[in-house]
Structure 1
Amino acid sequence: MDPTTTASTPPTGRPEDTGYESARAWEELVTSALLGTDRRPPAALAGTAAGSLPGALLDEAALHTVRRRAGLRPGAAVAPPEPAPEDPRGPLPAAAGIRLEQLLAGRASPSPSGRRGAAPDLAELLPQWLALANELDYKAPPAALPALLDAARARTDLRPQALRLAGPRGLWLARLNPEWRFALRGTGAGGNLPSPEDPEGVRSLWDEGLFAERVALLAAVRTGDPAAGLALLASTWSVERAEDRLMFLDSLRTGLSGADEEFLEAALADRSRNVRATAAELLSALPASALAGRMAGRAATCVGLDRTAGSPRIAVEAPHECDAAMERDGLVAVPPAGRGERSWWLGQLVEAAPLSCWPARFGGRGPEEIVALPVADDWRAELHAAWCRAAVRQRDADWSRALLGSPAAPPATGPGTSSLAERGRLLSMLPAGERARWVASFVAAHGLSEAFQLLGVCDVPWAEPLGAAVIDALDIARDAGSYPWSFSGVMGLAERCLAPAAARQLESLTALPDEAEDVSPGAGGYWSEAFQRLVSTLRLRAAMRAELTGEHAAAGTYGA
């Protein structure tokens, strides 16, 4: 093609008039547009007046664009995807569907001052909304599925509940978008699981299903019939990948009993260290298992009453070696950096020994009496920390109660704890009502500064007297002129965890207080704003529950 020929010149039919030459002409136009027509005038517009070049270049580019598009050959047709499966669950009430759209849209806009403002944080309420919607067995509206999957991709804490609400249609949609492939891994993929009473369907999904579907299936079968779940896992155990074996083995926590011991004992010889460790942990949670007995025997040689002391006390002789048998039973021989070998081995032994072995070892004393005994040679912290881990592993409320001690004791000096994190784990072993009363007494004795980790393990909504104790402590902190931003974490928890009925009690705290001279400037306004946000959030939570439980059912359903 002659370089002076414009794009509008009819092609001559020669091969060089199409394809390569057309692409070269397009690149030349793009280069001229980037560099400027005064610095690089396109050859195709030679002879055009300089002042007209920019417009001529745009006209030429428009012609080339049409030519390029017209020259594209249609792609090969692909088969359409199979229709999405049906979801038998009921549709959301109309008001709840609108609310879901608002929650998925994200948090409220920040105030001009940069503070959170008095509006509720919608993103923080989404987990509660999803949990209640799933509890009521609703399905997500089809139009909301993309936003729901995007939210689950961005926030891993939402995934189990979000994928359950998305259901089989969400799983179907996730297969069509690489960004949503996370939904096909892990638990909660939301597929239609066969009934445990359908052995052929269970077998087929177990042999051919995606990993997420198999995990969900094993959990479902295990919940209804632990023995059937174990048999299903055992049927393919030898051919599973190590990472899959670990996840499947963890499913045995549901319905764990002595019937699982033989399988778990065999897993102690697994080629994966993580699988061996998990099997040992599960066996140690069975006080009558052979492993628990072996650990009890080893622990008894290390810990007992000091017969030489004038008053009862505990004597400790840590292990001098970690032999092959101990390693097979789950002990890790090499300690973390900065940790002594003997104390590391001792802690693992005591943690894995059944707590039921200690009363006989200490002359019939109960957990509270044993925990109260002095420990020789500075072994108290190590021994009590191991007992704390054992109480959590074995879900023993009596030992947890003894190790927690009185809530009036200083935060980090309970009889068996060295940190609030340990107290939080022990609290989770107590019944919900007792847990709330213990934390309420702790808040009354020590205020809110030390209570954040403990509040997080209490059931939602907070039972009384915990809710009242938190409100009273916040009121006291405000009146004392405390820095308001020091309690932002507790206020955030209160927004999610206080019973919605507490909004009436909080109304009086939303007024702007008179500021004393010794308080932080602007603190009163912050406290007032924070309490306003708390009240509005509690009322929004009440409205969300009403929408989901059907009080607005007369308005119809959403996305049916």
Structure 2
Amino acid sequence: MNATSTTRTGATRAESWDDLVTAALLGTDRRPRADAAPGREAPLALLDAAAVATVRRRAGLRPARAARRPEPAPEDPRPALPAAAAHRLATLLADRSAGAGGGRRGSAPDLTELLPQWLAAAVAHGYAAPAQLLPSLLDAARGRTDLRPAALAFAGPRALWLARLNADWRFALRAAPGGGAALPGPEDAEAVHRLWQEGLFAERVALLGALRTRAPVRARELLASTWPQERAEDRLMFLDAMRAGLSVEDEPFLERALGDRSRNVRATAAELLSALAGSALAARMAVRAAVCVALDRTQRTPAIVVEPPLECDSSMERDGVVATPPAGRGERSWWLGQLVEATPLGTWSERLGGRTARQIVALPVTDGWQDELHAAWCRAAMRQRDAEWSRALLGAPSAPEAGGPGAVSLAERAKLLAALDPAQRAAWVAGFIATHGLSEAFQLLGVCAVPWAAPLGRSVVDALNIARDAGSYPWSFSGVMGLAERCLDPAETARLEALLAIPDEREDAAPGAGGYWAEAFQRLVTTLRLRAAMADELAPPASTRAPAPVEASAQPPDAAG
């Protein structure tokens, strides 16, 4: 066939693929083809021509060199997941749409909310992910960023191998240190130096973070070697990486960073130095704060007297004090708060007559400065993670919901609770719920260790029961119910059995409330049983478990929950 010949469908070699696409888009009525075969309907003729053109285009491709075959997937040396647990994971991954719709949830567990807990437990046991479930696992992590850390830890090195072959899973490479590439160890000085000098920014941040955990001195030296040449935004990110393993040995470097040309870098350096109780900056702040806060002994009852700074001089600004307050805030109170926040909390006992933190917090503060002073102490306790001061500022759990000596909101109380050990945290929140119920406790429950300690779990169940018996509007407790499903110890299941019946509704109760409560408690019981089954499925076979100590043999088999 020569270059001008016509096919039996009427398509010529001169007719381009673009011409056919244009005719299809505009329609054959608006773009008729002059060489269409007679007697053939125009749309069908266009499709015939497109089919012929497609075959011609494919036949005209030149043979290409075969692409390089991908490297084999890396081996995962971790033990295989037990068969029952693998089946459970497949079920959880297949139920990704559960709970997405609105309306009543019914009594069935929300499997999507159990997936993060299952992944955390599988990672803790050290299992390898089943190869056939890796695509579904990566798809789930792609849609839910909260799943990614545990999902990628469980998926292991094969997740990175797959991510290099599928653009949809490239998030795994971004989440991995150095984009999935193995970082050199501190012993390989040449490779460390080369990556620091030539690597991408994300690789350099990952390298610095890895070195801070294993060789902090080497990490600091590496950062100091290029510090003057780094961009301000990069210096800020590198400085933030120094939070890991922060020690007094970092003080000279951070002191030099106080003179940085970037205000954000200076502020971050000052924050890190103030977290080091023995640093020179902390001592300077303590001297300034001591001038502003003193004990008034002239009255029968001792009180704290406050005289905020009259100015913010250049030395204060160098130490991280921001001179300009936010809108609506007075300058002097703004400066005072920053000085007290950066002062080591141990300073105040000597300054205020040898009193303990609880005694200091109980002292009256003159001239209306109490809220400002206590709020600054709260920020200091959070920054320095001081448990004694956190307990003092939290006050008794029976105090008003947004109260406490120093906390002005429940969010601040939650931050103070984070400085306590898990048992103290749970006991305090249990006391709060016993006094105030559950309506204000949601933020506080979120900082408690999982599974909830027995006293906390009992207080939550009792408060839910009280709310049900009082005819409370049931949907207002759906958030706490969701937390209970994920956080209650499965050992509490027996106590919930009595709550499954539909109670007699009070006249002033919300319509249908009794049925909702029974449904919600049924879902809670079912979920707890499911969590117990998941834990059993993930437990290693008895033949591979370490022998239990003799003194622990008397415990019931489910004592650990």
User: Which range, TM-score by smaller chain?
Assistant: 0.7 to 0.9
| Alignment map for 1:404-443 (pairs within 5 Å) | 404-443=394-433
- The equivalent residue for 1:542 is 532
Greater displacement, 120-129 / 485-494: 120-129
Greater displacement, 209-218 / 260-269: 209-218
Alpha-carbon separation, structure 2, partners of 1:378 and 1:168: 59
**Any idea what the Cα deviations from partners look like across 1:398-420, whole Å, max 9, x if unmatched?**
11111011111111121111111
Task: Answer yes or no: is the 8 Å Cα contact 2:236–2:265 preserved in 1.
Answer: yes
- For the residue of structure 2 that corresponds to 1:304, the secondary structure is strand
| Alignment map for 1:127-142 (pairs within 5 Å) | 127-142=116-131
Distance change in 2, residues 1:165/1:272 (3 Å):
farther
What amino acid is the match of 1:527? W
Greater displacement, 480-489 / 505-514: 505-514
- The equivalent residue for 1:359 is 349
TM-score for both structures, normalised by structure 1: 0.87
How far does residue 495 in structure 1 lie from its aligned partner after superposition? 1.1
What amino acid is the match of 1:501? A
Greater displacement, 66-75 / 404-413: 66-75
What amino acid is the match of 2:109? P
| Alignment map for 1:114-513 (pairs within 5 Å) | 114-185=103-174, 192-193=182-183, 214-513=204-503
Alpha-carbon separation, structure 1, partners of 2:365 and 2:274: 24
- The equivalent residue for 1:557 is none
| Alignment map for 1:74-113 (pairs within 5 Å) | 77-107=66-96, 109=98
Distance change in 2, residues 1:111/1:217 (3 Å):
closer
Alpha-carbon separation, structure 2, partners of 1:91 and 1:213: 31
What amino acid is the match of 1:119? A
- The equivalent residue for 2:551 is none
Task: Answer yes or no: is the 8 Å Cα contact 1:184–1:211 preserved in 2.
Answer: no
How far does residue 9 in structure 1 lie from its aligned partner after superposition? 6.7
Alpha-carbon separation, structure 1, partners of 2:102 and 2:372: 49
How far does residue 104 in structure 1 lie from its aligned partner after superposition? 3.1
Task: Answer yes or no: is the 8 Å Cα contact 2:401–2:440 preserved in 1.
Answer: yes
- The equivalent residue for 1:558 is none
Task: Answer yes or no: is the 8 Å Cα contact 2:184–2:191 preserved in 1.
Answer: yes
The answer on 1:23 being equivalent to 2:17 is yes
- The equivalent residue for 1:8 is 8
Task: Answer yes or no: is the 8 Å Cα contact 1:314–1:376 preserved in 2.
Answer: yes
Distance change in 2, residues 1:552/1:495 (3 Å):
farther
Greater displacement, 417-426 / 122-131: 122-131
Q: When the two structures are aligned, how many residues end up with a matched partner?
A: 542
Greater displacement, 145-154 / 394-403: 145-154
Task: Answer yes or no: is the 8 Å Cα contact 1:41–1:53 preserved in 2.
Answer: yes
**Any idea what the Cα deviations from partners look like across 1:265-304, whole Å, max 9, x if unmatched?**
1222233333322221111111110000011011111111
Alpha-carbon separation, structure 2, partners of 1:295 and 1:136: 46
Task: Answer yes or no: is the 8 Å Cα contact 1:95–1:552 preserved in 2.
Answer: no
Greater displacement, 290-299 / 528-537: 528-537
TM-score for both structures, normalised by structure 2: 0.87
What amino acid is the match of 1:47? P
- The equivalent residue for 2:27 is 35
How far does residue 531 in structure 1 lie from its aligned partner after superposition? 1.3
What is the percentage of aligned positions where both structures have the same residue? 67
Task: Answer yes or no: is the 8 Å Cα contact 2:9–2:45 preserved in 1.
Answer: no
How far does residue 258 in structure 1 lie from its aligned partner after superposition? 1.3
Distance change in 2, residues 1:393/1:9 (3 Å):
closer
Alpha-carbon separation, structure 2, partners of 1:215 and 1:166: 23
Task: Answer yes or no: is the 8 Å Cα contact 1:371–1:402 preserved in 2.
Answer: yes
How far does residue 133 in structure 1 lie from its aligned partner after superposition? 2.1
Greater displacement, 209-218 / 423-432: 209-218
What amino acid is the match of 2:399? A
Task: Answer yes or no: is the 8 Å Cα contact 1:107–1:121 preserved in 2.
Answer: no
What amino acid is the match of 1:479? D
What amino acid is the match of 2:154? L
Task: Answer yes or no: is the 8 Å Cα contact 1:170–1:190 preserved in 2.
Answer: no
**Any idea what the Cα deviations from partners look like across 1:236-280, whole Å, max 9, x if unmatched?**
544544444433333333332212211221222233333322221
Higher RCO (CA < 8 A, seq sep 6+): 1
Task: Answer yes or no: is the 8 Å Cα contact 1:408–1:441 preserved in 2.
Answer: yes
Distance change in 2, residues 1:129/1:9 (3 Å):
closer
Task: Answer yes or no: is the 8 Å Cα contact 1:222–1:255 preserved in 2.
Answer: yes
Alpha-carbon separation, structure 1, partners of 2:159 and 2:302: 63
What amino acid is the match of 1:346? L
Greater displacement, 454-463 / 328-337: 328-337
How far does residue 439 in structure 1 lie from its aligned partner after superposition? 0.7
The answer on 1:45 being equivalent to 2:36 is yes
Alpha-carbon separation, structure 1, partners of 2:100 and 2:210: 46
Alpha-carbon separation, structure 1, partners of 2:128 and 2:295: 60
Task: Answer yes or no: is the 8 Å Cα contact 1:408–1:442 preserved in 2.
Answer: yes
- For the residue of structure 2 that corresponds to 1:253, the secondary structure is coil
How far does residue 110 in structure 1 lie from its aligned partner after superposition? 5.3
Task: Answer yes or no: is the 8 Å Cα contact 2:10–2:36 preserved in 1.
Answer: no
Greater displacement, 335-344 / 212-221: 212-221
Distance change in 2, residues 1:500/1:66 (3 Å):
same
RMSD over aligned Cα, in angstroms? 3.2
Alpha-carbon separation, structure 2, partners of 1:492 and 1:26: 57
Task: Answer yes or no: is the 8 Å Cα contact 1:437–1:464 preserved in 2.
Answer: no
Alpha-carbon separation, structure 1, partners of 2:525 and 2:134: 31
Alpha-carbon separation, structure 2, partners of 1:111 and 1:521: 25
Distance change in 2, residues 1:82/1:436 (3 Å):
same
Alpha-carbon separation, structure 2, partners of 1:234 and 1:317: 40
- For the residue of structure 2 that corresponds to 1:21, the secondary structure is coil
Task: Answer yes or no: is the 8 Å Cα contact 1:171–1:190 preserved in 2.
Answer: yes
Distance change in 2, residues 1:208/1:24 (3 Å):
closer
Distance change in 2, residues 1:326/1:156 (3 Å):
farther
Greater displacement, 355-364 / 110-119: 110-119
How far does residue 535 in structure 1 lie from its aligned partner after superposition? 1.6
How far does residue 58 in structure 1 lie from its aligned partner after superposition? 4.1
Instruction: Give 5+ residue unaligned stretches, structure 1.
Output: 12-16, 555-560
How far does residue 214 in structure 1 lie from its aligned partner after superposition? 4.8
What amino acid is the match of 1:158? L
Greater displacement, 121-130 / 103-112: 103-112
- For the residue of structure 2 that corresponds to 1:473, the secondary structure is helix
Alpha-carbon separation, structure 1, partners of 2:343 and 2:374: 13
Alpha-carbon separation, structure 2, partners of 1:112 and 1:248: 43
Alpha-carbon separation, structure 1, partners of 2:248 and 2:332: 31
What amino acid is the match of 2:330? G
How far does residue 553 in structure 1 lie from its aligned partner after superposition? 9.7
Instruction: Give 5+ residue unaligned stretches, structure 2.
Output: 545-561
- For the residue of structure 1 that corresponds to 2:35, the secondary structure is helix
How far does residue 530 in structure 1 lie from its aligned partner after superposition? 1.2
- For the residue of structure 1 that corresponds to 2:90, the secondary structure is helix
2:55 to 66, 69, 81: 66
Alpha-carbon separation, structure 1, partners of 2:189 and 2:496: 55
